[in-house]
Chains A and B, each alone.
Chain A
Amino acid sequence: MTAAARAVRAISSADAAKPVVEVRNLGKRYGSQVEALRDINLDFPAGQLTSLLGPSGCGKTTLLKIIAGLLPATNGEVFVNGQKVTGPGPERAFVFQDFALLPWATVVRNAAFGLELRGVPVAEREKTARHYIDQVGLSGFENRYPHELSGGMRQRVGLARALAVNADVLLLDEPFSAVDEQNRRKFQEDLLKLRQVENKTLIFVTHSIEEAVYLSDRIVLLSPRPGRVSEVIEPRISRDRSPDQIRRDSAYLDTVETIWRGLRDYAD
């Protein structure tokens, strides 16, 4: 290998490792009583899916909303692409736990809503929205209303809306928690497939150990209130096999077991 080629490799690997989102000394209090997060320091590398895993009430949603710019931090700061976060930005898109779809708008309008708010002309934004509706597997449902869709389908609309604004970072707050188990697995597989097409950095909140291990490049374990980073785990599971094979893989099972042992102390 030539020196030049080596230099290029070094740069590109440095690029890959460069964090898109940096969280520095972050703390959050609600009022004077509730301390939701304490002294969080985290890097989220570009192109990776990082899960925030922890018991209910440990501050996962709070952390994600602070990164999204929807909540102010009490201490510390968040940087996205080196810029300090002071509010929502075009490089971040949120997928909500309760879907947050407009009940009075069709699937197309919902998926295009982020672009509508940015003033993109209607023909253009609906074209983009239709593309992503197709990508999440909802072709044929463009003119339906949310109440006509199942929970899983609604969250696919939420995902299409987040993809349509072409943000670098997708913030997903327990996107599958209101989806039944069967559809959840299907959706998880689809999310993995989508990741190969769309090069995004994903920050994914979940309280399911299996889900985190199945999907993530990195798992951040949070301790109960006040939420702190207790461990960062990299599952290193090769994903070029079938979902069933992955779920029977020893690396997968071992990681689930390790995390479970780590979290068991917190179970009440």
Chain B
Amino acid sequence: MNVRIVWAGRNYDLAASLPDELTLPESASVDDALKMLSGCLPHNRRLPGTCLIAVSGTHLGCLQSHRNQPLKDGDELLVLWPVAGG
């Protein structure tokens, strides 16, 4: 199945080096997708645990503490690096 990826918030410029779609096994979960996405990051870069995670418009928590759930074909996985500029 294919899952769209939206990388947003702080350091969104990193998305230029990330895929905007992942191809995953049919039984894949959010954590499987996040693991694959982490492997695509440039060397020495990692996602902070405070990133918000959402699937197809539903917030699941933050990277370090979120609900894991099965994905389905056509889902959109959003990873939002929190922003605080004023």
The reply to whether chain A is a binding partner of chain B is no
* Residues of A participating in the B interface, judged by any CB pair closer than 8 Å: none
* Residues of B participating in the A interface, judged by any CB pair closer than 8 Å: none
